[in-house]
């Protein structure tokens, strides 16, 4: 009765799944190499560019794309839009996986990972002024929150398992879990609001090294809004993917309204950035013919196109929904890359382009996420609208 | 539903008000000034002959290996810039017949950006305002490197247990009652050690007595909030690689925002209370775990 969500079931080790596993395995092997050989031998990082692909992509972009759970939770619980219900569980799952892997990426990136445990534990040593500390502690807490938010799926599986003992245990835990989940859910909205905005605040410490186009005191607000937009875009991706891969019915109406919310966010960002450039008197910077200016315009085009598509009601088919989601996600991704890498100027003589091992690790982590997602939705009741007969999907 | 939204908006307004309150003292944040016992260096580019005795002495005092990567054969310790083996370096600026040497090392900022972001306080202003590094608190995140406006902290990329390498003003030697290795060996007193206020007075004395010799600034007196290492030069400072001349300390903007929002943790707490209430009221209309309620089916 309780859950309309059901496991997908079906064979796990399909040929395409094996390809994903292979890519993941290459990534894991590269991670082992990174620890064996050190950061200098495996990355293109330098004293000028101490942060590269792993921070900019896996953490800063990765967690924003993992904001689906956050974005849907806002609609669902704060604005009480019940129609988004079927989307929350898969969204929370992608968020949990995305954030967990971002945490792993941090452990791979830092030079002295064996001391990381001190960050959440040694409270008496906390530098309370450190924005990075806030981001780190917030993200760690949010990973825990996300996995707790997924426990109802585990209980549902126990209930459905047919084993009397498991079923009874599930029923015993459920009432108190339901009560706790209210506060956990609230935490699940508070924490991303804090750390997604603070990811923007982070780069303000680069001060004059950060290009004026991105160097605004409104960086936290812009990061927050774009993270919500990217979260919605990721939900559209994910729904498209599961409808293609598992043959699930998709509710275009729901996806369409989600896309409208994201488009409003994108429009606000674009409008606000121009006002902000004008107020700070640096509008001239975006009319120069240099790389930062060109990338600034590409960011804005990527944000404006989906807004136009939505405004002209062109987002009616799954294909056009998907296209506008891709544009939004790319816009947000580029905006983050530019703030962390392109807009960051450590001075003359420094260059950065990710090394092959860096790329293999990033791609590998995405593959790990995908593999885990598929395995989990096949085993646990995450997706709604599952057909009674299990489809043999992802072949 | 409408009433819930009203409750939410009211709550958000309260949260915004709570955000504005702590922002008032935060906006009045005093620019930190140097500690009264602050020590530092004064480097006078007009006196430096580029002998690099300081570079060698610094390596000896800090047990740093030679950097033989710049010139072939592995014969010369000739670092081109600060790096994981080099805490100080002498660089040459030359344009036409204008030329100058310049010594680079940590500036020991009065409001150091490197320390502002460091999670557990591995980099921190400690005794005499010296910005020093504590291995037991460093996770190797390299936020200090993205933050430092002078490109000072270096990371041991080649090591498996990498450390942050930067000048700590020879704090071990100071503790033994000695002066820093670089000032100790300088044959021309181009770089001298002392209390910051004495060095500043000396710098201004030189500016006043030989005004034609110098650019009319003591770099570090006010730049980026002030530094404990001060510079005099006969060529413009930007030619010597000092990229920034703003007097604002680098952490200022970030501090204003972070303190405005997070001071006393009032705003997050208020927001959490509001969110909890709203989610609590919306419960039942769609249970929190994402299953459908009967009414929705
Ligand atoms: S110069 Fe750089 S490393 Fe030295 S105190 Fe200032 S910010 Fe820190
Ligand atoms: S690398 Fe170490 S010293 Fe630098 S900010 Fe990170 S923890 Fe602090
Ligand atoms: S004070 Fe010591 S560590 Fe710093 S540059 Fe001079 S010799 Fe090197």
Identify which of B151, B156, B291 has the shortest CB distance to residue A347.
B151
- Whether B100 shows a pLDDT value over 80: the answer reads yes
Cβ of B130 closer than 6 Å to ligand 1, yes or no, is no
Q: Residue A164 corresponds to which tokens in the numbers above?
A: 């009397």
Residues B49 and B101: beta-carbon distance below 8 Å: yes
Q: Considering the domain boundaries, does residue A394 fall inside one? A: no
Note the pLDDT tens digit of each residue in A45-67.
999 999 999 999 999 999 999 99
Coil/strand/helix, residue B217: coil
Cβ of B103 below 6 Å from ligand 3? no
In A, minimum Cα distance to B264 occurs at A128
State residue B75's pLDDT score.
66
Give residues with Cβ within 8 angstroms of B76, minimum separation 6: B68, B70
Residues in chain A within 8 Å Cβ distance of B289: 89, 149, 152, 178, 181
Mean pLDDT of A256-261: 86
* Claim to verify: residue A131 and residue A161 sit in the same structural domain: yes
CA of B123 to the centre of ligand 1 (A): 9
Name the phi and psi angles at B160, rounded to 5: -85, -20
Ligand 2 atom closest to residue B137's alpha carbon, by position in its atom list = 7
Q: Residue A391 falls within a domain, yes or no?
A: no
A364 shares a domain with A311? no
Residue B141 beta carbon below 6 angstroms from any ligand 2 atom: yes
Residues A30 and A154 placed together within one structural domain of the fold: no
User: Domain for residue A383, yes or no?
Assistant: no
Q: Are residues A374 and A314 in the same domain?
A: no
Question: Which one is predicted more confidently, A23 or A259?
Answer: A23
Q: What is the mean pLDDT of residues A89-112?
A: 96
Q: Which residues of B touch A220 (CB under 8 A)?
A: 257, 261
Asked if pLDDT for residue B74 goes beyond 90, the answer is no
In the 8-state DSSP scheme, what is residue B149? Answer: T
pLDDT in the model for residue A388: 41
Q: B243: Cβ–Cβ under 8 A, 6 or more apart, which residues?
A: A208, A347, B149
> Is the pLDDT confidence value at A80 over 80?
no
Please tell me the distance between residue B15's alpha carbon and the centre of ligand 3 in angstroms: 49
Say if ligand 2 is within 6 A of residue B142 CB. Answer: yes
Residue in B closest to A43 by C-alpha: B157
Residues of A in contact with B292 (CB under 8 A): 4, 85-86, 384
3-state helix, strand, coil in chain B (%, to 5): 40, 15, 45
What pLDDT is attached to residue A253?
Answer: 80
What's the pTM?
0.91
**Structural domain total, chain A:** 2
pLDDT tens digits for A168-195?
888 888 888 888 888 899 999 999 999 9
3-class DSSP state for residue B256? helix
**Better-predicted residue by pLDDT, B295 or B145:** B145
* A301 plus A154 within the same structural domain: yes
The per-residue pLDDT for A208 is 94
The alpha carbon of A336 is separated from its chain's Cα centroid by a whole number of angstroms, namely 12
Residue A315: inside a domain, yes or no? yes
Q: Is residue A314 pLDDT above 70, yes or no?
A: no
Question: To test ligand 3's pocket by mutation, which of B56, B181, B191, B227 has the most ligand atoms within 8 angstroms of CB?
Answer: B181
Q: Are B296 and B26 in contact (CB under 8 A)?
A: no
Pocket-testing residue among B117, B120, B123, ligand 2, by greatest number of atoms within 8 A of Cβ: B123
What is the C-alpha separation between B280 and B291, in angstroms, rounded?
A: 16
Write the ipTM. Answer: 0.92
Strands B191-195 and B98-104: unpaired
Task: Quick: pLDDT tens for B262-277.
Answer: 877 788 888 898 888 8
Distance B46 CA to ligand 1 centre (A): 24
Whether residue B279 has pLDDT greater than 90: no
Residues A36 and A178 grouped into a single domain: no
Tell me, what's the pLDDT at B261? 81
State in Å, rounded, how far the first CA of chain B is from the last one.
19
A4 is a domain residue: no
pLDDT exceeds 50 at position A1: no
Strands B131-133 and B123-125: antiparallel
- Within this chain, do residues A174 and A32 fall inside the same structural domain, yes or no? no
Between A4, A127, A186, which is nearest B276 by CB? A186
Q: Are B276 and B258 a contacting pair, CB within 8 Å?
A: no
B36 touches chain A (CB under 8 A): no
> Which candidate from B149, B276, B285 shows the least CB-CB separation from A207?
B149
Task: Report, as an integer, the average pLDDT of A77-88.
Answer: 82
Report helix, strand or coil for B20.
Answer: helix
CB contact set of A200 (below 8 Å; sequence gap of 6+): A219, A220, A221, A222, A223, A224, A339
Residues A192 and A145 in one domain: yes
Interface of B with A in 161-200 (CB under 8 A): 161-162
For residue A393, being part of any structural domain is answered with: no
Q: Where are the alpha helices (DSSP H) in chain B?
A: 2-27, 53-62, 113-117, 143-147, 171-175, 181-185, 196-209, 252-262, 266-282
Distance separating alpha carbons of residues B258 and B270, to the nearest angstrom: 16
pLDDT exceeds 80 at position A315? no
**B240 Cα to the center of ligand 3, angstroms:** 19
- Distance, in Å, from the CA atom of B149 to the CA atom of B243, rounded to the nearest integer, reads 8
Ligand 2: which of B119, B124, B251 to mutate, judged by most atoms within 8 Å of the beta carbon?
Answer: B119
Same domain for A169 and A34: no
Secondary structure of chain A in HEC code, one letter for each residue = CCCCEECCCCCCCCHHHHHHHHHHHHHHHHHHHHHHHCHHHHCCCCCCCCCCHHHHHHHHHHHHHCCHHHHHHHHHHHCCCHHHHHHHHHHHHHHHHHHHHHHHHHHHHCCCHHHCCHHHHCHHHCCCCCHHHHHHHHHHHHHHHHHHHHHHHHHHHHHHCCCHHHHHHHHHHHHHHHHHHHHHHHHHHHHHHHHHHHHHHHHHHHHHHECCCCCCCCHHHHHHHHHHHHHHHHHHHHHHHHHHHHCCCCCHHHHHHHHHHHHHHHHHHHHHHHHHHHHCCCHHHHHCCCHHHHHHHHHHHHHHHHHHHHHCCCCCCHHHHHHHHHHHHHHHHHHHHHHHHHCECCCCCCCCCCCHHHHHHHHHHHHHHHHHHHHHHHHCCCEECCCCCCCCCCC
Kindly tell me if the per-residue pLDDT of A389 is higher than 60.
Answer: no
Shared domain for A197 and A303, answered yes or no, is: yes
A35 and A75 fall within a common domain? no
Q: Is residue A1 part of a domain?
A: no
Q: Which residues of B touch A93 (CB under 8 A)?
A: none
Q: How far is the CA of B105 from the centre of ligand 1 (A)?
A: 9
Distance B114 CA to ligand 3 centre (A): 18
Q: Print the domain residue range for A363.
A: 14-43+358-378
Q: Does B265 touch chain A (CB under 8 A)?
A: no
Residues of chain B in contact with residue A109, where contact means CB-CB under 8 angstroms, are 141
Whether residue B93 has its Cβ less than 6 Å from ligand 2: no
Residues in chain B: 297
Q: Which of A252-266, A282-296, B15-29, B189-203 has the lowest mean pLDDT?
A: B15-29
Kindly state whether B272 is in contact with chain A, defined as any CB-CB distance less than 8 angstroms.
Answer: yes
A147/A20 same-domain check: no
- Ligand 3 neighbourhood includes B58 CB (under 6 angstroms): yes
The neighbouring-strand residues paired with B229 are B41
CA A327 to ligand 2 centroid distance, Å: 36
Report how far residue A189's alpha carbon sits from residue B277's, in angstroms, rounded to the nearest whole number: 13
Contact predicate B86/B70, CB 8 Å: no
First to last CA, chain A: 32
Q: For residue B127, give Cα distances in angstroms to A130, A153, B175.
A: 21, 55, 10
Query: Cα(A28)–Cα(B270) distance, rounded to whole angstroms?
Result: 42
Q: What is the mean pLDDT of chain B?
A: 86
The count of CB pairs under 8 A between chains A and B is 217
Q: Which two tokens stand for residue B49?
A: 């002959």
- Domain assignment present for residue A166? The answer is yes
Compute the nearest-CA separation of A217 from chain B (Å): 7
- The reply to whether residue B155 touches residue A181, judged by beta carbons under 8 angstroms, is no
Compute, in angstroms, the gap from residue B140 CA to the centroid of ligand 1.
16
- Ligand nearest, relative to CA of residue A130: 2
Q: Which helix (H) or strand (E) holds B101?
A: strand B98-104
Decide if pLDDT at A26 tops 60. yes
What average pLDDT does range B198-222 have in this prediction?
96
Q: Do B279 and A201 touch (CB under 8 A)?
A: no
Instruction: Report the CATH number that the domain containing residue A271 is assigned in CATH.
Output: 1.20.1630.10
* Mutation target vs B (from A93, A111, A280; most B CBs, 10 A cutoff): A111
Mean pLDDT of A208-214: 96
pLDDT tens-place string over residues B235-253: 999 999 999 999 999 999 9
Both tokens of residue B172? 């071990």
Which ligand is nearest to the Cα of residue B109, counting in written order?
1
Name the minimum distance, in Å, from the CA of A305 to any CA of chain B.
Answer: 31
């Amino acid at each position: 009765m309780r859950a309309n969500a059901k496991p997908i079931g079906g064979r796990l080790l399909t040929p395409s799944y094996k390809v994903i596993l292979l890519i993941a395995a290459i990534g894991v092997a590269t991670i082992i190499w990174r620890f064996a050989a050190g950061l200098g031998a495996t990355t293109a990082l330098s004293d000028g560019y101490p942060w590269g692909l792993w921070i900019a992509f896996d953490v800063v972009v990765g967690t924003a794309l993992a904001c689906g759970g956050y974005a849907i939770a806002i609609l669902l619980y704060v604005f009480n839009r019940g129609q988004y219900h079927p989307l929350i569980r898969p969204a929370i799952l992608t968020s949990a996986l995305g954030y967990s892997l971002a945490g792993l990426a941090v452990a791979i990136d830092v030079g002295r990972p064996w001391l990381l445990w001190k960050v959440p534990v040694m409270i008496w040593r906390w530098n309370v002024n450190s924005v990075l500390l806030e981001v780190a502690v917030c993200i760690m807490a949010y990973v825990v929150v996300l996995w707790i938010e997924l426990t109802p799926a585990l209980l549902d599986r126990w209930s459905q398992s047919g084993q009397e003992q498991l079923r009874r245990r599930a029923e015993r835990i459920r009432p108190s879990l339901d009560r706790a989940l209210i506060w956990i859910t609230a935490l699940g909205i508070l924490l991303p609001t804090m750390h997604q905005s603070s990811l923007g605040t982070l780069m303000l410490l680069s001060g004059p090294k950060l290009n004026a186009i991105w160097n605004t005191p409104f960086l936290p607000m812009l990061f927050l809004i774009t993270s919500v937009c990217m979260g919605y875009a990721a939900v559209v991706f994910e729904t498209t993917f599961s409808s293609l891969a598992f043959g699930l019915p998709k509710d275009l109406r729901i996806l369409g309204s989600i896309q409208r919310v994201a488009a409003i966010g994108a429009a606000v960002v674009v409008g606000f950035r121009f006002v902000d450039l004008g107020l700070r008197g640096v509008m001239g910077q975006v009319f120069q013919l240099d790389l930062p200016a060109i990338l600034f315009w590409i960011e804005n085009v990527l944000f404006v196109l989906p807004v136009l598509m939505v405004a002209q009601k062109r987002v009616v088919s799954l294909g056009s929904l998907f296209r506008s989601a891709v544009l939004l996600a790319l816009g947000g991704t580029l905006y983050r890359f530019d703030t962390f890498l392109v807009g960051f100027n450590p001075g003359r003589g420094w260059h950065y382009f990710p090394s092959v091992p860096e790329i293999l690790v990033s791609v590998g982590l995405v593959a790990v996420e995908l593999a885990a997602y598929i395995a989990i939705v096949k085993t646990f009741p995450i997706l709604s609208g599952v057909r009674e007969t299990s489809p043999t999907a992802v072949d | 539903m409408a009433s819930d939204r009203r409750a939410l908006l009211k709550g958000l307004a309260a949260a915004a008000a709570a955000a504005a309150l702590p922002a008032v003292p935060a906006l009045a944040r005093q620019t930190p000034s140097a500690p009264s016992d602050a020590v530092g260096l004064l480097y006078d580019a007009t006196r430096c002959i580029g002998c690099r005795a300081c570079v060698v002495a610094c390596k000896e005092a800090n047990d740093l290996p030679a950097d033989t990567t710049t010139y072939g054969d592995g014969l010369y310790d000739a670092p081109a810039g600060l790096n994981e083996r080099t805490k100080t370096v002498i660089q040459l600026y030359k344009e036409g017949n204008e030329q100058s040497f310049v010594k680079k090392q940590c500036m020991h900022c009065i409001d150091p950006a490197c320390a502002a972001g460091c999670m557990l306080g591995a980099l921190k202003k400690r005794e005499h305002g010296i910005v020093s590094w504590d291995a037991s608190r460093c996770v190797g995140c390299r936020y200090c490197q993205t933050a430092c406006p002078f490109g000072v902290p270096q990371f041991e990329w080649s090591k498996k247990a990498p450390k942050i390498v930067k000048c700590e003003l020879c704090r071990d030697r100071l503790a033994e009652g000695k002066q820093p290795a670089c000032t100790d060996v300088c044959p021309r007193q181009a770089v001298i050690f002392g209390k910051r206020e004495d060095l500043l007075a000396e710098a201004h004395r030189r500016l006043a007595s030989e005004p034609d010799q110098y650019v009319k600034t003591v770099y570090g007196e006010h730049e980026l909030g002030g530094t404990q290492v001060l510079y005099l030069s006969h060529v413009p400072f930007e030619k010597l690689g000092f990229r920034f001349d703003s007097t604002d300390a680098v952490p200022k903007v970030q501090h204003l925002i972070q303190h405005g929002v997070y001071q006393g943790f009032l705003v997050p707490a208020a927001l959490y209370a509001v969110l909890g209430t709203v989610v609590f009221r919306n419960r039942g209309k769609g249970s929190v775990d994402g299953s459908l309620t009967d009414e929705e089916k």
